[in-house]
Structure 1
Amino acid sequence: MRKFYRLAMLLWVMGGSFNQLHAQIDPHFTQYYVYPAWLNPALTGAFDEQYRVSGIYRNQWGNISSPFSTPGISLEFTTEKNINVGVSVLNQTAGNGGYNYTTAYGNVSYTGVRFGRNETQRITFGIQAGLIQRRWDRSKLTFGDQWNPITGYNPGSASQDLITRTSAGTFDVGAGIMYFDAEPGKKANVFAGFSTAHLTRPEDKFSANGEGKIPMRYTAHAGVRLTINEMFSLTPNLLYARQGTAQEKMVGAYATYKATSEVDLMLGANYRFEDAISPFIGFTYKNMVLGASYDINTSDLGKMTNGANSFEISLTFIGRKATKTPEIEFVCPRL
């Protein structure tokens, strides 16, 4: 029963009640800057190479018998026409009830707004469109009338509670804008962006009357890469997201040390207000970036789950161009 109560509370925190959908229902990541397709569609193709593959995996509240598990993968391509394209797929499974949240999007960005010396000041626009699919596994649910006050739960007792819908799919659209300074050799390169998800206000078929709407998610993010010297840089960054009545505020920084001509070491941390501290460690090798983070919960939710925390691992692979552009080093607005 304790595990059931914890899971019920966690689902309430993430998704609100089934009667009215006010709180955040979308998954979130601590390493939000390494999964650009989820953060902001304007980041699609915001790199000076041919293609980029980004993957991330988040495991949350492992002390629960069925923890929240969220893998995501994206693929982006750049072109010579100021138009970049990408696709992304994300899937979250949560709890003993077999809850599953899946998204599949196609992204398109326009990168033709460039100004400044060597046109390294850039503004990009992006849009994404795709499908959201949510479903439950009724066979994994238990109901109040299956519990006997003396003998306990009886799986052989049929419940009179009827669930008329166990899955729902809907079309979804999002958009974003991004500014970044890609000029090499500067002491400070600034980047900032804003995105809105669920612009179409998709219907929430799991609401009480089936006419609820999934609230839009607003995300603002920014940072600056500070070049200390040829070997060392520091990148403070911040994020603010809001969906319904739920909001997420995060600040952090990571340092990059050039260990060799092919290897960079990274170390940093994020702080999610009223929630968790998240140390981060990673490295780059040639065209690959590998990172890992661990959320140390600081809120009352951590006490309720017996100190269960979350971890993430991310991997990015970038396809290099056969011939580099005249720029010495393109300053990417994220890892």
Structure 2
Amino acid sequence: MKKSILQILLAVMAGIYGLPGAGYAQADPHFSQYFIQPMSLNPALTGAIEGDYRVSAVWRSQYGNTFSTKGLSAEMPTSKNINLGVNLLNQSSSDKAYNYTNAYLSIAYTGVRFKDHYLVMAMQAGVLNRSFNVNQLQFGEQWISGIGYDPSAHSSEVFHKPNVFSFDAGAGLVYYDATADRKINLFGGFSAFHITQPKDPFIAGGDKQTMPIRYSLHAGARIIVSSLLNIVPNVLYMSQGETAEKMAGAYVQVNASEQVDLMFGANLRFRDAISPFAGFYYKGITVGMSYDTNVSTKNAMEINRNSVEVSLSYTWWRKNSMKTKPFYCPRF
């Protein structure tokens, strides 16, 4: 059966994120520094911060600068066992032929406690937009032997709906141990996104195609080595349709001074890439940078899939708010 250019592009989109076994269903954009946009990993992480408010931004360039991904989020815990957050994400190709945007509101309930052990439940709802600029796409039939690309040449490719808006929703659970003065605090969670399974009506007859549910399973621990050193090992497994991703790694946080923390570490995305990370914290501001370098044994002719990410987040407290809380954030 002949593959359409859209099917091929969606398969490439899955390959961008190192998801082996990619089919035609699109894989969600996401970041190597997933802890900067935690609501895109699990809505139950909404407001899991050591502060009263936090805003975060992250930018990723990859695939030979062919694709860029931007994320922006804001979150806050409340005194009513409810945490609130907003998460925005956009991915686009450099030629503006492809665009993916989502915007979600997350609500997490934190009232289930067993002493200092917490079980957080959350829902997420919002809008998902996917679009293709057909005028920016080139098709095989427009490449003519001896001439090259001819944009005026006819193509038999037909896009049914190149711009689609859909309602979307997700849910998640997170457990974490917030026991004060414990040397090891465990955390873990499970989430499901696109539980409404938005349709993919891009090509004729595509109304039967739906966005597959993305499942995420993550876990880790905060290990307090000393008053100056914390280690955070972590693992992540995600699956979406025929795709899957497995990651494992660790981060180290060093208390360099009363107001400055230094952070470094790396994650390994199995069969794909290693992502070293370095950053610092100063007076509520956290700056981080990571670089994904390909370590897979795939065809050497494959296009460069290395990528770079830069992140910035700011956490602050309300006036007269206590800055020391017996709480260990279930993420880095």
TM-score by length of 2: 0.89
| 2:226 aligned residue (226, 229, 245) | 229
| In 2, Cα distance between equivalents of 1:129 and 1:21 | 26
Which residue, 168, 175, 180 being the options, matches 1:179? 175
Does the aligned pair in 1 maintain the 2:14–2:243 contact within 8 Å? no
Distance 2:112 2:288 in 1: 31
Q: Deviations over 1:243-270 (max 9, x none)?
A: 0010000000011110000100011000
Aligned counterparts, 1:53-132, within 5 A: 53-62=55-64, 67-94=66-93, 96=95, 98-116=97-115, 120-132=116-128
Confirm or deny: 8 A CA contact 2:34 2:41 kept in the other structure.
yes
Tell me if structure 2 keeps the 8 A contact 1:250–1:271.
yes
Q: Shift in Å at residue 196 of structure 1?
A: 0.3
| Equivalent position to 2:271, from 253, 263, 274 | 274
Which residue of the other structure, out of 26, 29, 33, is the alignment partner of 1:27?
A: 29
- CA RMSD in angstroms, aligned pairs only: 2.3
Quick one: which of 27, 52, 56 aligns to 2:54? Answer: 52
Segments of structure 1 that go 5 or more residues without pairing to the other structure are none
**Distance (whole Å) between structure 1 residues aligned to residue 32 and residue 94 of structure 2:** 20
Contact 1:175 1:196 in 2 (8 A): yes
Residue 24 of structure 1, CA deviation: 4.8
User: Aligned to 1:163, what secondary structure does the other structure show?
Assistant: coil
Distance 1:33 1:302 in 2: 31
Query: CA distance change for structure 1 residues 106 and 328 in 2, over 3 Å: closer, same or farther?
Result: closer
1:163 matched to 2:185? The reply is no
Q: What is the alpha-carbon distance in structure 1 between the residues aligned to residue 199 and residue 163 of structure 2?
A: 13
Change (3 A) 1:325 1:100: same
Query: 2:32 is paired with a residue of what secondary structure?
Result: coil
Residue 199 of structure 1 and its aligned partner are, at CA, apart by: 0.8
Deviates more, 1:32-41 or 1:302-311: 302-311
Given the alignment, which residue of 190, 193, 211 partners 2:189? 193
CA distance in 1, matches of 2:110, 2:144: 63
User: Per-residue displacement from partner, 1:67-116 (whole Å, max 9, x unpaired)?
Assistant: 11100111112221111211111000136461100001111111111222
Following TM superposition, by how much is the alpha carbon of 1:302 offset from its aligned partner in structure 2, in angstroms? 7.5
CA apart distance, 1:148: 1.5
Q: Distance in 1 between matches of 2:169 and 2:125?
A: 4
Change (3 A) 1:24 1:163: closer
* Alignment match, 1:246: 243
Deviates more, 1:186-195 or 1:154-163: 154-163
Distance 2:246 2:62 in 1: 18
**In 2, distance between residues paired with 1:200 and 1:248?**
22
Runs of 4+ in structure 1 deviating by more than 4 angstroms, as ranges, are 20-24, 324-329
Q: Tell me how many residue pairs correspond in the alignment.
A: 320
Cα 1:195–1:12, aligned 2, differ >3 Å: closer, same or farther? closer
Mapped contact 1:39–1:195 kept (Cα < 8 A): yes
Tell me how far 1:317 sits from its aligned partner. Answer: 0.9
What are the ranges of 5 or more consecutive residues in structure 2 without an aligned counterpart?
Answer: none
Q: 1:23 to 1:329 in 2, by over 3 A?
A: same
SS at match of 1:203: coil
SS at match of 2:35: helix
Of the candidates 305, 308, 313, which is equivalent to residue 310 of structure 2?
313
Distance 2:75 2:31 in 1: 19
CA distance, structure 2, for counterparts of residue 180 and residue 277 of structure 1: 27
SS in 2 for 1:233: strand
Distance in 1, matches of 2:289 and 2:171, equals 28
Percent identical: 44
Separation of aligned partners in 1, 2:150 and 2:323: 71
